[in-house]
A and B are shown apart, each in its own frame.
Chain A
Amino acid sequence: MLDSLLALGGLVLLRDSVEWEGRSLLKALVKKSALCGEQVHILGCEVSEEEFREGFDSDINNRLVYHDFFRDPLNWSKTEEAFPGGPLGALRAMCKRTDPVPVTIALDSLSWLLLRLPCTTLCQVLHAVSHQDSCPGDSSSVGKVSVLGLLHEELHGPGPVGALSSLAQTEVTLGGTMGQASAHILCRRPRQRPTDQTQWFSILPDFSLDLQEGPSVESQPYSDPHIPPVSKNAKVDPTTHLTFNLHLSKKEREARDSLILPFQFSSEKQQALLRPRPGQATSHIFYEPDAYDDLDQEDPDDDLDI
């Protein structure tokens, strides 16, 4: 999946850290898209142009359109630049393209821009650049735009990083173990569940991507890598070793179904209540009056004339 990152378009965030640097992956993706025939623009802010172009062979170097903001970031030398507005102006100018050719814009680095520009403006411009092709009406005229941004996670707080990752279509977090680099790719499609995958890779000296089978290649429904998975215990069947019977045989089931429950008023019960009870004559009550019993034969209600 690492090699088809640019196929989706939109904003792709490459989150790297001090241990696992992302510039070589950025250069590998730039080389891949240049070889595919796309138009590649580079906004170089963090390293010099010579350092960026190092390692690329000449035909790739000829295809890259490099905008250098490293040598003179504040434009003190007042030369006639192609983009007078600084990197923001360059990005805004790219919003107004009309070419059908797909374009890849590599931002080296997005952290540099985030530290110098207000976060909201940067988010708005990135959204405008990466979503040019999302209108259903005139999708044929403008080619797909991918924006690759290199973000150094440790330089920023959770706020700007959270804001940028909510805008991004794909987020690649670099990590690894024991000298083997891995990329955790989280892909957010607009109305679907995000999918993620971990891919082990290495970058060859000529900046081509070598995908490897690392210690564990898992592709599961997205789970946060920082929280260990819940271990499932073996299900114990509680119905074994019981002292009573939980299962019914067919005859028992029939007998149970035909049982009349006490509160159900069926016709038999009605008949039983209405019929005079046959056992009544056979039972007697024998009573020996005690010394303290007051047997008054006079009924107190006798003088009531009802």
Chain B
Amino acid sequence: MAAVATCGSVAASTGSAVATASKSNVTSFQRRGPRASVTNDSGPRLVSIAGTRPSVRNGQLLVSTGLPALDQLLGGGLAVGTVLLIEEDKYNIYSPLLFKYFLAEGIVNGHTLLVASAKEDPANILQELPAPLLDDKCKKEFDEDVYNHKTPESNIKMKIAWRYQLLPKMEQIGPVSSSRFGHYYDASKRMPQELIEASNWHGFFLPEKISSTLKVEPCSLTPGYTKLLQFIQNIIYEEGFDGSNPQKKQRNILRIGIQNLGSPLWGDDICCAENGGNSHSLTKFLYVLRGLLRTSLSACIITMPTHLIQNKAIIARVTTLSDVVVGLESFIGSERETNPLYKDYHGLIHIRQIPRLNNLICDESDVKDLAFKLKRKLFTIERLHLPPDLSDTVSRSSKMDLAESAKRLGPGCGMMAGGKKHLDF
């Protein structure tokens, strides 16, 4: 106890020593930038860029992914300097939506965009971004949506379980009216043209950049990836996202979006062959990309068709090389579409990895079973609810179906449904 007390007093004395030293201008610690006046010595100034906020856990600068529900699951948002990898669903219907939400959020916040694709022209991708919902309208839209799906019983004030009224609702994450961090988008409308034109964006369309087939040496990057890395590096350097142009008036975030990375259209054959010649190309690309991102004010979203990758070891390496990995599994075409467990949803969303940045633990949510639904205007992510397990009068085979599908659920949904055998009481 005495040792702690002396440490405390030593710290206090050094603190006061620093304070007196800075007041008397003899310290060797020079603060970069204009000195604040002595009377309001408030500490280092926080970087305040539009559309970012510091994380409440570790002070990391976060940007929104465009979907406030996803931001909440990732612990507040996507950290600047990290990669968000989205594993595409089988028919590539829902992953372009997440991609577009990310880019639309960049336009609304005034960030610079870099869109790279081998399939579609980036200008066409930008034309199809969803329109943002403004604050006064979006509450009305939400109430409309929520009201349509509400059941009549929930309108009654709870009399017996009155404590549950105080709990926040997990299902609908309503609009946070006072924050400027995450925005809501209307998926049925397009972003207005003037917003797109007012934004600063760079496009990388692979067929335009590569005109001839070049000879590729073994163990090197595919030419498409090399060109893309050079392009990204040029933009970061020229526009000063890595601090190389100190005269920049206002710091900004660069949002990079790369679509369908790893598909054969990028010249990468990991989807075609199990042990191709360039099997390390994609992993090298991700490694170099992460290095570029960590040294600049940028955030990146990548969609990848991992269901086509033949070699499972590559998927594991890709997951390790990315920071946040989110997998989308849609129910189209699978037997789950007719399963009553999943009838309200369009697919499952798996948060496969969350990074530990300057931290010992990561900020994972305790909800592991999440499903998504694309309503007409909104893309919502909800907790997967099991239907009530009706007892003996329901026939055994449908109970077995539920048990089979409930086996895939995590422990959060209750252990009873997870077991294969049903205990009869």
Contacts and interface: CB of A to CB of B under 8 A. Distances in A.
Contacts of B268: 120
A135 B263 CA distance: 21
Nearest to B264: A123
Contacts of A261: 159-160
Given A158-B310, A159-B310, A224 B334 contact: yes
Interface in A137-191: 157-160, 162-163, 166-167, 188, 191
A191 B267 contact: no
A222 B334 CA distance: 8
B337 A223 contact: yes
Contact of B271 (A159, A194, A229, A237): A159
A166 to B, nearest CB: 6
Interface string A216-239: 000001111001011101001110
B398 A194 contact: no
Nearest to B128: A191
Contact of A124 (B120, B264, B335): B264
A167 B264 CA distance: 9
A52 to B, nearest CB: 28
A242 B335 CA distance: 35
Interface string A245-287: 0000000000000000100000000000000000000000000
A192 interface: yes
Contacts of B267: 120-121, 124
A64 interface: no
A127 interface: yes
B156 to A, nearest CB: 10
A166 B398 contact: no
A215 interface: no
Contacts of A2: none
Interface string B191-227: 0000000000000000100000100000000000000
A222 B398 contact: no
B333 A224 contact: yes
B273 A124 contact: no
B393 A236 contact: yes
A223 B265 contact: no
Contacts, number: 101
Query: Which residue among A166, A193, A230, A236 has the maximum number of chain B CB atoms within 10 Å of its CB?
Result: A166
B120 to A, nearest CB: 8
Contact of B398 (A128, A233, A238): A233
A136 interface: yes
Nearest to A238: B393
B308 A123 contact: no
Given A191-B96, A236-B394, A163 B337 contact: no
A222 B272 contact: no
Interface residues of A, number: 37
B17 interface: no
Contacts of B365: none
Given A136-B124, A163-B308, A194-B332, A119 B269 contact: yes
Interface residues of B, number: 44
Which of A119, A159, A162, A223 has the largest number of chain B CB atoms within 10 A? Answer: A159
B93 interface: yes
Interface in A105-124: 118-121, 123-124
Nearest to A123: B264
Contacts of A136: 124, 127
Interface in B99-127: 118-121, 124, 127
A230 B333 CA distance: 13
A162 B332 CA distance: 17
B305 interface: yes
Contacts of B127: 136
A192 B332 CA distance: 11
Contacts of B264: 119-120, 123-124, 163, 167
Given A230-B339, A237-B393, A261-B159, 20 more contacts: A118-B269, A119-B269, A120-B264, A123-B265, A124-B207, A124-B265, A124-B267, A136-B124, A157-B273, A159-B308, A166-B308, A188-B91, A191-B93, A191-B96, A193-B93, A194-B332, A222-B332, A230-B335, A236-B393, A236-B395
27 contacts: A119-B273, A124-B207, A134-B120, A135-B124, A157-B273, A157-B274, A157-B310, A159-B272, A159-B273, A160-B272, A160-B273, A162-B307, A166-B308, A191-B96, A192-B93, A193-B91, A194-B333, A222-B332, A223-B335, A223-B337, A224-B333, A229-B335, A230-B338, A230-B339, A233-B397, A238-B390, A238-B394
Top 3 A-B pairs ranked by shortest CB distance? A119-B272, A123-B264, A120-B264
Interface of B: 91-93, 96, 118-121, 124, 127, 159-160, 207, 213, 263-269, 271-274, 305, 307-308, 310, 332-335, 337-339, 390-391, 393-395, 397-398, 401
Interface of A: 118-121, 123-124, 127-128, 134-136, 157-160, 162-163, 166-167, 188, 191-194, 221-224, 227, 229-231, 233, 236-238, 261
